[in-house]
Amino acid sequence: MPQTPPSYLPRISHVLFIIIAATAILFVAKPVLVPLAFALVFAMLLIPLCRRMEKWGINRGLATVLCILLLLLSVAIIIGLLSWQLSSLIDDMGNIEQRITQMVRKLQQYIRDYTGIDRNQQQEMIKEVNKDGSGSMITEITSALTGVMVDGILTIVYIFLLMYFRDHLMQFIRKAVPATQRGNVADMVHCASDVSQKYLTGLAQMIVTLWIMYSIGFSIVGVKSAIFFAVLCGTLEIIPFVGNLTGTAVTVLMGVVQGGDFKLIAGILITYGLVQFIQSYVLEPLVVGRGVNLNPLFTIVGIVIGEAVWGIPGMVLAVPIFGMMKIFFDHFESLKPYGFLLGCNDNEDDSKGIFDKLRGLFTGKK
């Protein structure tokens, strides 16, 4: 007599099928979904400002356009600031190139001493690797820049449409669900929008604060083009855990290339440590808060999955998307275990102030 399979196997199979199908759809539909996802995130950030303008008597269409222009102005200011600082790096490019040449020669000497491969052989090996890739690299860069421009234009168009027709989209959601679930779904959409707005606003405030702190720290220790690297390190914070490490690594590398000594490298690392301490125990609790309330484990998993499916855009969008998924899971009884899995410990005492957390850090008491 054949044995009956355990009751939990069909449910596990169903979940695995949904995960695999969703991943495949996200991967295949990347050109369509990435601009739409960015537009949704930015639209949630701009909707409170748009509503305020509408209360002042400004037409919704004009208010939406003004919000988008403010967003573009903010991006233009960041790019202008980076370009201004980058010009000083370009002026110093001769010294940087000379320093890199010296480091390459030392590396070649080290390889020759320990492997017996002389410089000519090393150069021939490098040419052999790169001879077929130079033309394709230029083509890939051109294609990537074109893709970014197209995605940027699409994102702006989507932001306008999402903000302008938000009431119509909300009515569609209410009509698409059963009458018994309309209140729950409306509450879910409201919570997702509210959490996303708080998270994005807090993140923007934290990034600006990081710019200031990194600028002061890097200027004190003597980093050339300190503002450029401060803006770079602060902006990369949009990718949790990975971004700040990448920015600091680039700063340390440029410090070495620019001829910095041990004191400069130590100063950069000390600045990074102090800024990270202030960020973790002051900025995140007070500015960002626990809006998204994701478990650090699944935050990292989400970033890895986002990079595998959508590349760098997936890493940037991972936290907001996983935060919305958690809210979605929390609003349906059968999915609450998955929401609990994605979230932090709900029993933590959120009423603790920053000084209580700092005291707990040094005393070992939570």
Q: For the chain, what is the mean pLDDT? A: 76
Mean pLDDT of 15-35: 83
Mean pLDDT of 162-177: 85
- Could you give the C-alpha distances from 242 to 255, 271, 304, in angstroms and in order? 20, 17, 10
Mean pLDDT of 126-135: 54
Other Cβ atoms within 10 Å of 360 Cβ, number? 13
pLDDT band at 127 (very low <50, low <70, confident <90, very high): low
pLDDT band at 350 (very low <50, low <70, confident <90, very high): very low
pLDDT of residue 337: 84
Contacts of 322 (CB under 8 A, 6+ apart): 292, 294, 298, 299, 302, 342
- Tell me if 238 is assigned to some domain: yes
**Residue 314 burial (C-beta neighbours within 10 Å; 0-12, 13-18, 19+):** buried
- Tell me if 109 is assigned to some domain: no
Cα(40)–Cα(192) distance, integer angstroms: 11
Mean pLDDT of 148-170: 88
Examine the pLDDT at 361 and tell me if it is beyond 60: no
pLDDT band at 90 (very low <50, low <70, confident <90, very high): low
292 contacts 319 by C-beta, under 8 angstroms: yes
Spell out the SS3 assignment of the chain: CCCCCCCHHHHHHHHHHHHHHHHHHHHHCHHHHHHHHHHHHHHHHHHHHHHHHHHCCCCHHHHHHHHHHHHHHHHHHHHHHHHHHHHHHHHCHHHHHHHHHHHHHHHHHHHHHHHCCCHHHHHHHHHHHHCCCHHHHHHHHHHHHHHHHHHHHHHHHHHHHHHHCHHHHHHHHHHHCCHHHHHHHHHHHHHHHHHHHHHHHHHHHHHHHHHHHHHHHHHHHCCCCHHHHHHHHHHHHHCCCHHHHHHHHHHHHHHHHCCCCHHHHHHHHHHHHHHHHHHHHHHHHHHHCCCCCECHHHHHHHHHHHHHHHCHHHHHHHHHHHHHHHHHHHCCHHHHHHHHHHECCCCCCCCCCHHHHHHHHHHCCC
Which of the two residues, 1 and 253, has the higher pLDDT score?
A: 253
- Tell me if 305 is assigned to some domain: yes
Cα(11)–Cα(157) distance, integer angstroms: 40
- Tell me if 205 is assigned to some domain: yes
Least confident of 163-172, 186-195, 288-297, 301-310: 288-297
Examine the pLDDT at 88 and tell me if it is beyond 70: no
Q: Is the pTM of this model over 0.85?
A: no
Mean pLDDT of 302-308: 84
Cα(173)–Cα(188) distance, integer angstroms: 11
pLDDT of residue 68: 93
Cα(121)–Cα(127) distance, integer angstroms: 10
Which of the two residues, 54 and 125, has the higher pLDDT score?
A: 54
pLDDT of residue 236: 81
CA proximity to 207, closest of 244, 251, 248 = 244
Angle 183-186-190 (CA atoms, 0-180°, nearest 5)? 135
Structure-block tokens of residue 232: 């770079």
Range 41-78 burial, b when 16+ CB lie within 10 A, else e? bbbbbbbebbeebeeeeeebeebbbebbeebeeeeeee
Mean pLDDT of 82-96: 67
pLDDT of residue 190: 77
**Residue 143 burial (C-beta neighbours within 10 Å; 0-12, 13-18, 19+):** exposed
pLDDT band at 73 (very low <50, low <70, confident <90, very high): very high
- Tell me if 60 is assigned to some domain: no
- Tell me if 15 is assigned to some domain: no
pLDDT of residue 353: 45
Least confident of 15-29, 42-56, 159-173, 175-189: 175-189
Which of the two residues, 162 and 191, has the higher pLDDT score?
A: 162
Mean pLDDT of 301-309: 84
Instruction: Render pLDDT for 232-249 as a digit per residue (tens, 0 to 9).
Output: 888 887 776 677 778 888
Which of the two residues, 87 and 355, has the higher pLDDT score?
A: 87
Range of the domain at 250: 181-366
Least confident of 30-34, 261-265, 282-286, 323-327: 282-286
- Tell me if 122 is assigned to some domain: no
pLDDT of residue 161: 92
- Could you give the C-alpha distances from 132 to 26, 119, 121, in angstroms and in order? 32, 21, 18
pLDDT of residue 7: 59
Examine the pLDDT at 55 and tell me if it is beyond 80: yes
Least confident of 119-128, 185-194, 243-252, 306-315: 119-128
Which of the two residues, 352 and 267, has the higher pLDDT score?
A: 267
Mean pLDDT of 56-64: 91
pLDDT of residue 294: 74
- Tell me if 96 is assigned to some domain: no
Examine the pLDDT at 126 and tell me if it is beyond 70: no
pLDDT band at 8 (very low <50, low <70, confident <90, very high): low
Examine the pLDDT at 287 and tell me if it is beyond 50: yes
pLDDT of residue 64: 92
Overall number of domains in the chain: 1
